[in-house]
A and B are shown apart, each in its own frame.
Chain A
Amino acid sequence: MSETPSSRRKPGPTFFTATLKKRWASAFAGMTMTIAPAVADTVYVSNEASDVVHVIDGATGARRGDIAVGKRPRGLAMAPDGKRLFVAVSNDNDVAIVDLANGKVAGRLPSGPDPEVIAVAPDAATAFVSNEEDNLVSFIDVGSARVTHEVPVGIEPEGVAVSPDGATVIATSETSSMAHVIDRASATLKENLPVDARPRWAEFTRDGKHLWVSSELGGTVTVFDAAAWQPAGKVDFTSIPNAQPVGIAFRPDGARAYVALGRGNAVAEVDAASLTILRRFPVGERVWELAVSADGARVYAANGLSGDLSIIDVASGKVRSVQLGGKPWGVAVSR
């Protein structure tokens, strides 16, 4: 660069920069209902501008209601038993726990400042959040509602993931362009893995053998061997116009990955073994986070700029839009 890089702290991130078009269309107006697939599920979408979590029927796209959770909800994590939803409430500096039986906030956890992405351990005992402004990952003991550890990571941590065996926590730091491997038991940093520019999301494969890290600016996903922590492959999206890989979700059988392409306004389907891009589904504008239905039949995509949820029917490749307004951010699905 012309200017030698300094370690000056950059101002906070503003991922959703463009002026939001107000599109408060009715969810049902003009929508042609298609035949619903057999397995019903419920989709939860955080909306950072509307301060709610939307509840949507995954099969029909029908809106079931909204849950007020606090100011600027972003990251979502479903509890392993599927009965509670953890919501990082960024401007309230806490985590809301929603009881999905009644759709009410049943409790709150401290999170440290400005929690963004949240992951919950398979034993549900610990939640992990990224605190972007403080360059920390906070470990939150769910039972006692206390922050037990603050692990310093790189600059502007964002993506957080926990391994299927619960032993390893990952954070990605946007400005430092790395993924951090944290040992959960000791709450210490084990490895710093270099990735392409502006890593946004980390996701373990369902078998826990690999870690996928998306790089928004680099236009790639780097795949790591999750035992040796060595690069095992890369998915290159740079030939797709405007593709900025962000959210990643795997099909339950582990054979397919879905990658949200941000400003590319599409979701890519990737063969998880060969790392080849199989299909591309056009979705709304500035697609961010993804979730896959328990039967693998549908992919749900939150579109921050167009204010809707895209529901992709994987078999037919057809995409429908559920208008939500505001800025949809995170997606979780009941199992």
Chain B
Amino acid sequence: MGRRGLALMLALAAAPAGAAELRVCADPNNMPFSNAKGEGFENKLVERIAADWGRTVQYTWWAQRRGNVRNTLKAGECDLIPGIGSAVEMVGTTRPYYRARYMFVTRADRSLDIAGFDDPRLRTLKIGVQMVGDDGSNTPPAHALAKRGIVDNVRGYLIYGDYAEHDPQAAIVRAVAAGEVDVALVWGPTAQWYAKSSAVPLKLTPTPWLDGPQLPMQFDVSMGVRREDDKLRAELNAWLTAHRDEVEALLARYR
């Protein structure tokens, strides 16, 4: 057998049997997670996996909104959602590949050093908080503020953002830089990505990891497959375990 034949056989052996495409559902405008240009870390991750498996990524673009899992993964439009909360039970989740936390985002020149929800200054400062908005649920920091009666000085930013905008999730971070709010509560990866490119230096401080037992501020993130798709889930778990350092290095580039 020639060298080329052997290499081909090895490649076939390494790739899980099945289709030539890795069918992925992702958001076309949701940096730092994914976009249609393939710039997000979820894009890079699925492209890396597909390359290892000798497949190409075939995207179905669908904005992260209520119902997106039902209309994409569950409808058979794709086989994989690259980033979803590990505890989400409507899909089968892989082992988590990162854990993140909500952050307090302030301007570095303000030296506010807010590290907890009980800081009395939160009653008077202008606060930006991410809101879900369209299904009656809300982000944990919004709950943490509301349960302390901190409402009037809070401005909500929809996590889904405005799709007419280039970077819909950037608005809350830019509001801190522009001084429109004094402090913002932002999901870690979003805060880190937009703070990186901010012209005004920003300070990021992790929130406490939980605000009472039912209000954790940190969450594990997995890939999601259809619940019954044990095969793909096992293949992804094996890949994630074998490439832990590489995944960590990829994520670090977005922080």
Which residues of A pack against B, CB within 8 Å? 1-8, 10-11, 13-14, 17-18, 135, 152-155, 173-178, 180, 189, 192, 194, 196-198, 217-219, 238-239, 241-242, 263
Once the chains bind, are B87 and A8 in contact (CB under 8 Å)? no
Once the chains bind, are A2 and B132 in contact (CB under 8 Å)? no
Kindly list chain A residues whose C-beta atoms are within 8 Å of the C-beta of B26: 2
Kindly list chain A residues whose C-beta atoms are within 8 Å of the C-beta of B139: 4-7
Question: Which single residue of chain A is at the shortest CB-CB distance from B244?
Answer: A238
Kindly list chain A residues whose C-beta atoms are within 8 Å of the C-beta of B100: 1
Question: Which single residue of chain B is at the shortest CB-CB distance from A177?
Answer: B220
Which listed residue, A155, A218, A241, touches B214 by the CB 8 Å rule? A155
How many residues belonging to B are interface residues under a CB distance threshold of 8 Å? 50
Please tell me if B234 contacts chain A, counting CB pairs below 8 Å: yes
CB distance from B234 to the nearest CB of A (A): 5
For A8, A11, A135, A241, the residue with the greatest tally of chain B CB atoms inside 10 Å of its CB is A8
Bound Cα distance A178, B212 (Å): 11
Bound Cα distance A68, B141 (Å): 47
Please tell me if B96 contacts chain A, counting CB pairs below 8 Å: yes
Dominant SS among interface residues on chain A:
loop
Which residues of B pack against A, CB within 8 Å? 26-27, 30, 33-34, 42, 64, 81-90, 93, 95-96, 100, 130, 132, 135, 137-140, 143, 159, 187, 190, 209-210, 213-216, 218-222, 227-228, 230, 234, 237-238, 241
Given A155-B214, A192-B210, A197-B96, A3-B138 contact (CB < 8 Å): no
Question: Which single residue of chain B is at the shortest CB-CB distance from A171?
Answer: B213
Bound Cα distance A74, B139 (Å): 34
Given A3-B159, A6-B132, A263-B230 contact (CB < 8 Å): yes
Dominant SS among interface residues on chain B:
mixed
Kindly list chain B residues whose C-beta atoms are within 8 Å of the C-beta of A10: 87-90
Kindly list chain B residues whose C-beta atoms are within 8 Å of the C-beta of A153: 213-214
Question: Which single residue of chain A is at the shortest CB-CB distance from B27?
Answer: A2
Which listed residue, B85, B234, B241, touches A5 by the CB 8 Å rule? B85
Once the chains bind, are B216 and A177 in contact (CB under 8 Å)? yes
CB distance from B162 to the nearest CB of A (A): 15
Question: Which single residue of chain B is at the shortest CB-CB distance from A11?
Answer: B89
Which listed residue, A178, A196, A242, touches B216 by the CB 8 Å rule? A178
CB distance from A133 to the nearest CB of B (A): 13
Once the chains bind, are A194 and B213 in contact (CB under 8 Å)? no
Kindly list chain B residues whose C-beta atoms are within 8 Å of the C-beta of A5: 85, 139-140, 187, 219
Bound Cα distance A6, B138 (Å): 5
CB distance from B115 to the nearest CB of A (A): 17
Kindly list chain B residues whose C-beta atoms are within 8 Å of the C-beta of A8: 132, 135, 137
**Which 5 pairs of residues, A with B, have the shortest CB-CB distance?**
A8-B137, A4-B159, A197-B220, A6-B137, A1-B221
Between-chain CB contacts (< 8 Å), 21 pairs: A1-B83, A1-B85, A1-B221, A2-B26, A4-B132, A6-B138, A7-B215, A8-B132, A10-B90, A11-B90, A13-B89, A17-B227, A177-B216, A177-B220, A180-B213, A196-B220, A197-B86, A197-B95, A217-B93, A219-B237, A242-B237
